[in-house]
Structures are given as structure tokens and as C-alpha cells.
């Protein structure tokens, strides 16, 4: 693909992301996506045969961005608890933007398996990045040396919980994400 084609494809994907974010999956239209991208509707169809295919491409793009952000969070030269807090805030923000019922209505069975595969790949990559961060934290003495790194990584990845944040706000806690991280870290930190 030429540089111009790649640029146009990226422009379409960014326009689609904005349109899906504004109007939802069902409310978004190829015409509006094309207008946002500053191109004709037929040009969008040169790159994507349907709104469903375009949506899946947007999901793949967003998954790559999430993975890059997660790797960047866990690569920071800051204490592991701070890395974890950044991750929790990022994921809680992301979960507020996603309506899974719309996604499931939008994609057909064949697309659903492709979406499932993409999500599984994303989780595998996130687990590897988190496991490396756990091992580094163990080496730095921030986490217990005998901690099962793969299990701890899976646990840490699972802690962003919108209900917990809602409940902590109802209880008047100022920083629910920090409270969540403090609870997650308790018992896993090095005794020394």
C-alpha cells in the first residue's frame, strides 16, 4: 500500500472512530464518516466493503493503541504501584467509552469470532507486559519475591472495576483508583 493510501486509510479509521464515538455504532453512517474524513463515500468503500468491516478495523486500531499505552505504562521508571494506578485509571476511562451491547449487535457471527480473537490477542500481549512489570517489581523489592508472577499479572489486569469506583464515590472516597490499587497491592508487597 502506498504512503498516500496508508494515510487515507488511517484518516478513514480516525473519522470512523470519531463517528462511532459520537453517534454509536448503529447511528454512525458511511456518509458521515466520509464527510469527517474529507473524502467521498465511494472512497471509503474502496478501503472497507461495509460498516461492519470498518468497525472491526477501528477495533483493531484501538486495540493496538491500548496495547501501546499499556506497554508504555508498565515501562515507566516509577514504582510498580504508580504504574498500576496509571493502568487502572486508563482502563476505567476506556470502559466508560465502550458499549458492549452495541458492539455485539453490530458484528455478525463471523465478525464476532474475529473480534474475539483480536481481544484474546490483546489480553495475551497485556498479560506479557504486566508479567514483565511484576517481575521487575519483584527484582526491585517492591513485590514479594515468591509471588507467582503470571497469576499476579492476571490479577492486576483484572482490577479495574467500574462498580468499585462507583461505590467508593458513593462512600465519599476521593480517589477510588488509588484505593483499588492499595487494596490490590496489600499482601503482595515485599516485607523488606
110 three-state secondary structure: helix
**Per-residue model confidence (pLDDT) at position 109:** 52
pLDDT range class, residue 160, cuts 50, 70, 90: confident
CA 99 to chain centroid: 13
Give me 188's grid cell. Answer: 503482595
Mean pLDDT of the chain: 85
**Per-residue model confidence (pLDDT) at position 74:** 93
**More confident site: 37 or 60:** 37
**Per-residue model confidence (pLDDT) at position 177:** 85
Give me 89's grid cell. Answer: 485509571
**Per-residue model confidence (pLDDT) at position 97:** 59
Residues 184/156, Cβ–Cβ less than 8 Å: yes
| Nearest CA among 108, 101, 21, 6 for reference residue 58 | 21
* Stretch 30-51: mean pLDDT: 94
- Convert 50-79 to b/e letters by CB count within 10 Å (16 or more is b): ebeebbbbbbbbbbeebbeebbebbeeeee
What Rg, from alpha-carbon coordinates, does the chain have?
Answer: 20
Give pTM, 2 decimals: 0.75
pLDDT greater than 90 at residue 8: yes
| φ, ψ (nearest 5 deg) of residue 2 | -70, 165
pLDDT greater than 70 at residue 167: yes
pLDDT range class, residue 72, cuts 50, 70, 90: very high
Residues 73/86, Cβ–Cβ less than 8 Å: yes
pLDDT range class, residue 114, cuts 50, 70, 90: confident
* Stretch 131-139: mean pLDDT: 95
**Per-residue model confidence (pLDDT) at position 110:** 56
- Rounded distance between C-alpha atoms, residue 136 and residue 82, angstroms: 14
Amino acid at each position: 500500500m502506498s504512503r498516500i493510501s496508508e494515510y487515507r486509510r488511517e484518516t478513514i479509521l480516525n473519522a470512523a472512530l470519531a463517528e462511532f464515538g459520537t453517534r454509536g455504532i448503529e447511528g454512525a453512517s458511511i456518509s458521515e464518516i466520509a464527510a469527517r474524513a474529507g473524502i467521498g463515500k465511494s472512497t471509503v468503500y474502496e478501503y472497507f466493503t461495509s460498516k461492519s468491516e470498518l468497525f472491526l478495523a477501528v477495533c483493531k486500531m484501538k486495540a493496538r493503541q491500548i496495547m501501546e499505552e499499556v506497554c508504555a505504562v508498565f515501562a515507566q521508571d516509577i514504582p510498580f504501584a504508580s504504574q498500576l494506578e496509571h493502568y487502572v485509571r486508563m482502563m476505567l476511562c476506556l470502559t466508560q467509552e465502550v458499549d458492549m451491547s452495541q458492539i455485539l449487535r453490530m458484528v455478525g457471527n463471523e465478525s464476532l469470532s474475529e473480534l474475539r480473537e483480536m481481544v484474546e490477542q490483546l489480553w495475551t500481549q497485556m498479560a506479557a507486559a504486566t508479567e514483565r512489570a511484576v517481575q521487575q517489581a519483584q527484582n526491585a523489592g517492591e513485590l514479594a519475591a515468591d509471588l507467582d508472577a503470571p497469576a499476579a499479572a492476571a490479577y492486576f489486569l483484572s482490577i479495574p472495576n467500574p462498580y468499585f469506583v462507583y461505590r467508593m464515590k458513593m462512600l465519599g472516597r476521593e480517589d477510588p483508583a488509588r484505593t483499588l490499587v492499595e487494596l490490590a497491592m496489600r499482601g503482595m508487597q515485599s516485607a523488606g
